Structure 1
Amino acid sequence: MTNAYDPNGYEKGRADGFEKGKKDGFAKGLEDAKALKDNPPLNEISLKWRELQCADKLTAKFGSSVTLNDRDMECLKETVKSAIWRLEIFANKQSVPIVLKIFKGPVANQDLTELNMYRKASGILPDLMPSIFLIEEGINGDDIWVFMEFVPQLKGQIIFTPDHFDRIIPSLAKLHAQTYNDNFYNHWDTFADWLPRYDSEATSLERQKMQKGTLEYLDKSEERPEIKQRLESSYDRLRSILKKGPIYFLELIQAGKSIIHNDLQTPNIGCSNVGDENWNIKFIDWEGARFAPCWFDMFNLMGVFFAYRKDWRNEEEAVIQRCAHLYAAEMSKYGIQFNGDPIRLYKMAYLQRVLERSLYLQLQWAIEGQKSAFLLEGYLEKINIWGKELGLH
């Protein structure tokens, strides 16, 4: 007996099979997804963590066994030179965020400065730097991994205003006092072969090169009508002042040097208790660290803020008055007395940094079109007003 072909039955069977396959596939997908969620594949950090036995090495630091949470990792920042990860570990029956900073090899000199601050200076400045838990070298060839304390950045926690300078300056003075003049030289063996120094021959030659470059950009500005117009009222004055450099104020140098952070923006200032009256400040990202006039960090903290924040310019003089005296008073708590007027020293630090570096960069960006030179007019105004006040012209 021959079975008759039933086209309707064939199509129904085909449709039923498709639906069953779809349901089975969906169920299998859910099962696989649940398995991945419960047991995620280990990424490179997790694998290296186990290979290097980091948990065992951190046990002594935390006083208990340590476990890495493989499911909670966030890359906060990555460049060609480094990467910063926020990790979570479990220790003492609680969750603890930590930071992993990866220095990608070969490590450049500027990154070596930051790395050596973590290797060698954290014991000298323990209250002002993140705690360093572990440093592993030779990862994937030349990479260096630094596991350190997670300190929440001020950026994102508060809307920053000049009133917050008062919360930061006591910690800044403490940083400077601990390495001020002889206190630095007492640790000479720790810093001698790697920390840039303002009084070194290499740094002096760099300032001379920058001075020459600034004068050359001034000359080039004469060939660019739009830039020539911006410099018209300042050109002759600038040439005259620059030829007096590259050191413009011996009084500033004589006021004393210390280790400075050199990049005091809110992403580089951490605080874990912004709700309290007295902030527990720790400074983050030390690649610009150097031994230099201590007042430079007051420029890095306040001068750069006001240069970018035109909405606060009307407050600038009053804030300088208050904060320069506050910094001097905080330094005096450590037995450090400045002979000069604090406001005058701040203005000297501002002009010295602008004339030896910032002005060069603004002119370079304006002429070569690398970036917008929107700070140029503000710097020129300060050079004119404060330069006259301080006897530069």
Structure 2
Amino acid sequence: MNRSKDSGGYDKGRLDGFNRGKQDGYNKGREDARGTMTSPLNPQNSQTPQTPQTSQAPQTPQTSQAPEDPQNTPLNEVSLKWREFHCADKISGHFGHPVTLNDGAMECLKDTVKSTIWRLEITANQQSYPMILKIFKAPVANQDLIELNMYRKASGILPDLMPLIYSIEEGISGGDIWVFMEFVQQLKGQVNFTPDHFDKIIPALAKLHAQTHNERFLQHWDVFADWLPRYHSESSTAERQKNIKETLQYLDKAMDRPDLKIRLDSSYYRLQIILHKGPDFFPELLQAGKSIIHNDLQSPNIGCNNVVDANWNIKFIDWEGARFAPCWFDMFNLLGVFFAYRKDWRSEEDAVIHRCAHLYAAEMVKYGINFQEDPVKLYKMAYLQRVLERSLYLQLQWATEGQKQAFLLEGYLEKIEVWGKELGLY
């Protein structure tokens, strides 16, 4: 089926179908619930006197509570497929004991047209463990396929930096793919995030990059070659060239609007000069090396199960943006995006950049990787490269088409003016 001519229509149709199906499922669930409540098999409708419960001794924190009576817990699709595909047998090896699924302790964390995420609970050796089930809905493509392939093929190469994959079940419910994985608690909600926390994340980030840096990535070429985006592939380069061209067009459109002209007037000619030098503005970034990068390092995508300890065991979550690209881009993703939104920390930005850039470089040295350029300079280059090839384009597009508020535009323009002059872009 060829969807290239109307991919927007296809996506809208898929979303409409998803919403209709979701409503139908909701209605059916209500009917089933009514049937259950009026059924003579429901204990609440039985006329048999109930035996008073006796008090029990409190359980230790390590011992799981008894699951609900299976006869009284309706089995949803997850429970049924768990049994049909013998998931317990496949997962038990990771725990060293037989495992059972607690059918009464499931929570749907997220449900979209492309995927569903469940938080499950299993019991092994009388202890309960949380577990994540991510359902990739057919057809799995684009960024969803990248994330799925990271779980399928890269978890063995980056075992300490990704959630542990327990089992992957293919071909469920018409082509859906179910991934059972380790539950890793997001940093968001656990800590009040400040720049001090970067120091706990950067060592893991450097380890991620070092394991696939330059020729180390090539050692696994057969694993990644046919699906992981590469920054300097023909298609990626063409996309960046297209973004630069459209950024220039949006810049002209913005100058025709009085409200945006005021914001852009002092930067217009400078941006024209700089953008025409693209799409590759700093060859030094390429010399510093490329690695598999995560590409979306916000606190919901960074996990840690031991935030009470001095040294955090960081694992990165949600890999749909992964690609083989200049390793310093992830430092922009980590620090640059934080300071773009957190104006309350702007006064400390320069000091934090200096500390974190040097920390990252020092961590990379531990793995035999030495940067020839000053780390702070490399960070600023990565920042401007990403802003000029992508972020500025999005801000201008949102502003001219009214899709979103361009809250970050002034901050980007300031960095382009100051750091662009410092780095010789104009």
TM-score, normalised via structure 1 length: 0.91
Identify which of 84, 87, 102 aligns with 1:51.
84
Residue by residue, what CA displacement relative to the aligned partner does 1:234-284 show, whole Å, maximum 9, x if unpaired?
001001100000100001111100000000000000001101111000000
- 2: distance between equivalents of 1:76 and 1:361? 29
State the partner residue of 1:31: 44
Q: Which amino acid aligns with 1:31?
A: Q
State the partner residue of 2:329: 296
State the partner residue of 1:103: 136
Counterpart secondary structure, 1:145: strand
- 2: distance between equivalents of 1:386 and 1:66? 56
Shift of 1:59: 2.1
- 2: distance between equivalents of 1:326 and 1:389? 22
- 2: distance between equivalents of 1:232 and 1:92? 67
User: Is structure 2 residue 122 aligned with structure 1 residue 122?
Assistant: no
State the partner residue of 1:242: 275
Shift of 1:30: 6.6
Q: Pairwise mapping of residues 230-309 of structure 1 onto structure 2 (< 5 A)?
A: 230-309=263-342
Shift of 1:61: 2.4
Q: Which amino acid aligns with 2:234?
A: E
- 1: distance between equivalents of 2:42 and 2:324? 59
Give the greater-gyration-radius structure (CA): 1
Q: Which amino acid aligns with 1:186?
A: Q
Assess, with a 3 A threshold, how the Cα gap between structure 1 residues 122 and 28 changes in structure 2: closer, same or farther.
closer
Counterpart secondary structure, 1:199: coil
Q: Which amino acid aligns with 2:303?
A: G
User: Is structure 2 residue 199 aligned with structure 1 residue 186?
Assistant: no
Residue by residue, what CA displacement relative to the aligned partner does 1:84-137 show, whole Å, maximum 9, x if unpaired?
110000112210110000001101221111000000000000000000000001
- 1: distance between equivalents of 2:390 and 2:402? 18
State the partner residue of 1:17: none
Q: Which amino acid aligns with 2:75?
A: L
State the partner residue of 2:190: 157
Q: Is the 8 A contact 2:184 2:305 kept in 1?
A: yes
Counterpart secondary structure, 1:258: strand
Q: Which amino acid aligns with 1:222?
A: M
Q: Is the 8 A contact 2:255 2:265 kept in 1?
A: no
Mark the runs of 5 or more structure 1 residues left unpaired by the alignment.
1-24
Shift of 1:29: 7.7
State the partner residue of 1:131: 164
Mark the runs of 5 or more structure 2 residues left unpaired by the alignment.
1-37, 51-67
- 1: distance between equivalents of 2:83 and 2:214? 44
State the partner residue of 1:68: 101
State the partner residue of 1:322: 355
- 2: distance between equivalents of 1:237 and 1:216? 15
Counterpart secondary structure, 2:117: strand
Shift of 1:31: 1.9
Identity between Structure 1 and Structure 2 (%): 75
Q: Which amino acid aligns with 1:385?
A: V
State the partner residue of 2:34: none
User: Is structure 2 residue 74 aligned with structure 1 residue 41?
Assistant: yes
State the partner residue of 1:92: 125
Residue by residue, what CA displacement relative to the aligned partner does 1:26-78 show, whole Å, maximum 9, x if unpaired?
x99872499xx641111111111111111122122222111000000111112
State the partner residue of 2:60: none
- 2: distance between equivalents of 1:380 and 1:115? 36
State the partner residue of 1:196: 229
- 1: distance between equivalents of 2:264 and 2:43? 67
State the partner residue of 2:420: 387
- 2: distance between equivalents of 1:317 and 1:335? 27
- 1: distance between equivalents of 2:197 and 2:103? 37
Residue by residue, what CA displacement relative to the aligned partner does 1:128-177 show, whole Å, maximum 9, x if unpaired?
00000000011111110000000000000000000000000000000000
Q: Which amino acid aligns with 1:254?
A: Q
User: Is structure 2 residue 380 aligned with structure 1 residue 367?
Assistant: no
TM-score, normalised via structure 2 length: 0.84
- 2: distance between equivalents of 1:28 and 1:135? 36
- 2: distance between equivalents of 1:29 and 1:63? 37
Residue by residue, what CA displacement relative to the aligned partner does 1:305-351 show, whole Å, maximum 9, x if unpaired?
00000000001000001000000000000110000000000000000
State the partner residue of 1:215: 248
CA RMSD of aligned residues (A): 1.5
Counterpart secondary structure, 1:238: helix
State the partner residue of 1:205: 238
